[in-house]
Amino acid sequence: MSRDRKGKQKKGWFRNLSAALSMELREHRSSFIVYFTLRILVIAMLVLQLFNRNYENVFLCALTLLLLIIPSLVQITFKVELPTTLEIIILVFIFAAEILGEISEFYLMFPFWDTVLHTLNGFLAAAIGFSLVDLLNRSEKTMFNLSPLFTAIVAFCFSMTIGVVWEFFEFGMDTIIGYDMQKDTVIHTIRSVTLDPEGRNIPYVIKGIAETAVNGQELGVGGYLDIGLIDTMQDLIVNFIGAAVFSVLGFFYVKNRGKGKVAWRFIPRRKAEDRDFLKIAREEASSRKKASEQEKEAVQGDDLPEKTALFAEHEPEDQVPDQEE
């Protein structure tokens, strides 16, 4: 296959994907309004960070714009339908984590901000894990059928795995790149066997810590710093709570054969055939191509008689040789 043909196919694929994304975004009015509003706010923040020459935040804004498209991209690629409630919460979650949490420093201004987001993350991850199993259970192509209890357990484990992997990521970013994603916690009591004067495996307790000095310089934090451990455990605990709540809802959803109104708003389903926007975009592109080819053929057919007549007018007449007298 020539490079030109490959290039045309690639352009055609991106054109179809863009058209499908446009149709997907406009399918539900409420989610589109939320998406459009958040996108405008992110672009405004991006311009502001450019003026401030804060290029790290510019990257975060660009990343957020990309992440806002992910729900629609997942729907058209994997042919699943995200409930409007779930899609809106995912969009708001992305905005709250990146723009409000990181750039606007809500993580520092509101200590509960990180806790709320991790709880919500556990809930949403359980919903996604639950939907994966539910789609397999309903598929006619796979022999896969889990009971409601096992479906709930799989959803719970999936959510906890996502939470643990995220904490690995935070630890890696702090250790390798030097970030502080695992925020420190000020505490006033420490227990450590390392400080035991006799070197035994007995925790040595120091209470009422009011200040900490490092290399003779007081830190001014009003206590002792726990370096990330408490923050990590709190994140995993609230992730556990969010995952457990949805797993219970999902259990009753399956047990009652899809009658749970709350869980139904958060569980993705397989797309209907007439809502496969990528397929629709391809068919429309194919129809336009055929119509264009037919129009060209019609134009060429109309020009043919004119060209024939023109050729006849300019055709030299047969010369008759002179006859000898």
Within-domain flag for 310: no
Amino acid identity, position 226: D
Output DSSP code: residue 98. I
> Is 242 found in the same domain as 155?
yes
Within-domain flag for 64: yes
Within-domain flag for 119: yes
Tens digit of pLDDT for each residue in 146-180? 788 888 999 999 999 999 999 999 999 999 988 88
> Is 264 found in the same domain as 244?
yes
- Residue 135 pLDDT > 80, yes or no? no
Angle 259-25-75 from CA coordinates, rounded to 5°: 55
CA distance 82 to 91: 12
Within-domain flag for 10: yes
CA distance 160 to 232: 13
Q: What is the mean pLDDT of the chain?
A: 84
Tens digit of pLDDT for each residue in 215-230? 889 888 899 988 889 9
Q: Sign of the C-alpha dihedral, residues 102, 108, 109, 115?
A: positive
> Is 221 found in the same domain as 102?
no
Within-domain flag for 305: no
> Is 108 found in the same domain as 143?
yes
Residue from 228, 210, 230, 206 nearest 220 by CA: 210
> Is 198 found in the same domain as 132?
no
- Residue 93 pLDDT > 90, yes or no? yes
- CB contact at 8 A, 135 and 270: yes
Q: Which domain holds residue 144?
A: 3-181+228-281
Number of neighbouring beta carbons within 10 Å of residue 148: 15
pLDDT at residue number 100:
94
> Is 232 found in the same domain as 220?
no
Within-domain flag for 123: yes
- Residue 325 pLDDT > 50, yes or no? no
> Is 237 found in the same domain as 106?
yes
> Is 202 found in the same domain as 97?
no
Lowest mean pLDDT among 79-93, 120-134, 252-266: 252-266
> Is 206 found in the same domain as 261?
no
The total of structural domains in the chain comes to: 2
